Amino acid sequence: MTDVYIIGLGMIRFKKYPNRGVRDMAQEVTRMALEDARLKKELIQAAFFSNTFWGMFSNQHSIRGQVILRSMGIEAIPVTNVENACAGASTALHLAYTGVKAGMYDVALAIGSEKITNPDKMLSLTAYASCMDVDNFENHLNMMMELNKTFKIDIPEDQSPPGSDRSIFMDAYAMGAKWHMNKYGSTQKQLAAICAKNHWHGSLNPMAQYQTNMTVEEVLADRLVAYPLTRSMCAPIGDGAAAVVVCSEEYLKKLSRVNPVKILASVLGTGTDRDLDGEDIGERLAKQAYNIAGIGPQDIDLAELHDATSYGELHQTEAMGFCPLGEGGPYAESGATKLGGKQPINTSGGLECRGHPIGASGLAQIYELGIQLRGEAGKRQVENARLGLAENGGGNIGVEEAAMCIHLLEKV
């Protein structure tokens, strides 16, 4: 089977776009990725389109990719619509990679586009609940509240009930953070250190939704969302799109003036009915990805991790094997995950600052790694970056992600 390369990258800044929609954002980044690859649209042989909420907000429940691509003159090719919650865009890339790897296509397109902002903010917030097991939603809330009672840490009493004024995922992450604090002694200040680091990275990224630097003290003083998470530690609601063009090794030889990045591994997996002390989906899939690529976590030069909250980054830093379980907080405080550190994480600013339009986030991670490995990241460039990892989780069932993709990329 052929090796697979990324040859085109396209992305718009993630933020609130009251006058834009899923279609025009997707078309813009598709044109950008094709231009970056120096390809005409007629050369694309297959496309994979990621979106989660277009049907809920605008009634476009079906044939989303076909609607977008056909109206820009890309037709007749196979188009696959992908919905995997927050892991939708990385799943689209996984499918494009798989098709090229298997020899079905020489060149394929992966797109993610999402509009979540809405005049009715509660509609936006409650939409996230559809990324869980809806029929068992009440059971999930009860589980979180019962777990809260078992933690031997001080939890403020004046919190609103889960999901009352925020995405339910903030409560799920808060539960995980409290479990980690209870078991390993991690602290709210360590979560704030992760957040402050990401705000600094975001201040260097013109594509980030938030570009304001924050100190640890400012993060801690921000409004409490769900203990121990303050507002700064949580990914904002926003809109955006990203796209990637991939091709086979033989096709790459026909091209000129491109700066490719090799995909060493692409792994997609589903969560299990484990308890909080069982093997995490990230640990399991990271081992698979490292085995496919023939490398280990110590070889990774930078990573984009799914930090819908600061605790998400702490947890995934451990799950990817960058530090031992329980040491994600001290590892971040040491400066290892900051630009200039041992293994910079979320140089884009992460979901906390770059933003998190659900169906596009996974490809935004790939965009960041791609420009880093191409040496085009400007003020946030990681020196001598050769190997990058992207971890993108989607949805929640039980105590972990319903789906997850891990990609390992290499500079050519």
Which CATH number does the domain housing residue 52 bear?
Answer: 3.40.47.10
Same-domain pairing of 21 and 167 = no
Domain containing residue 79: 4-118+238-263
Cβ atoms of 189 and 136 closer than 8 Å = no
Q: Higher model confidence: residue 265 or residue 118? A: 265
Q: Higher model confidence: residue 138 or residue 89? A: 89
Find the catalytic residue in 94, 199, 201, 356: 356
Same-domain pairing of 182 and 58 = no
What is the pLDDT, as a whole number, of residue 162? 59
pLDDT at 253 over 70: yes
Task: Work out the pLDDT band at 149, boundaries 50, 70, 90.
Answer: confident
Same-domain pairing of 87 and 135 = no
Domain count, the chain: 2
Same-domain pairing of 59 and 92 = yes
Same-domain pairing of 207 and 333 = yes
Same-domain pairing of 156 and 251 = no
Same-domain pairing of 21 and 138 = no
**Which residues, in sequence order, are bridge partners of residue 390?**
304, 407
Percent of the chain clearing pLDDT 90 (strictly above): 82
Same-domain pairing of 209 and 306 = yes
Same-domain pairing of 215 and 347 = yes
Same-domain pairing of 183 and 288 = yes
For this structure, is 356 an active site residue? yes
Torsions phi, psi for 54 (to 5 deg): -60, -40
What is the pLDDT, as a whole number, of residue 306? 98
For this structure, is 315 an active site residue? no
pTM recorded for the entire structure? 0.95
Q: What is the C-alpha separation between 410 and 152, in angstroms, rounded?
A: 43
Same-domain pairing of 232 and 294 = yes
What is the pLDDT, as a whole number, of residue 394? 96
Same-domain pairing of 85 and 188 = no
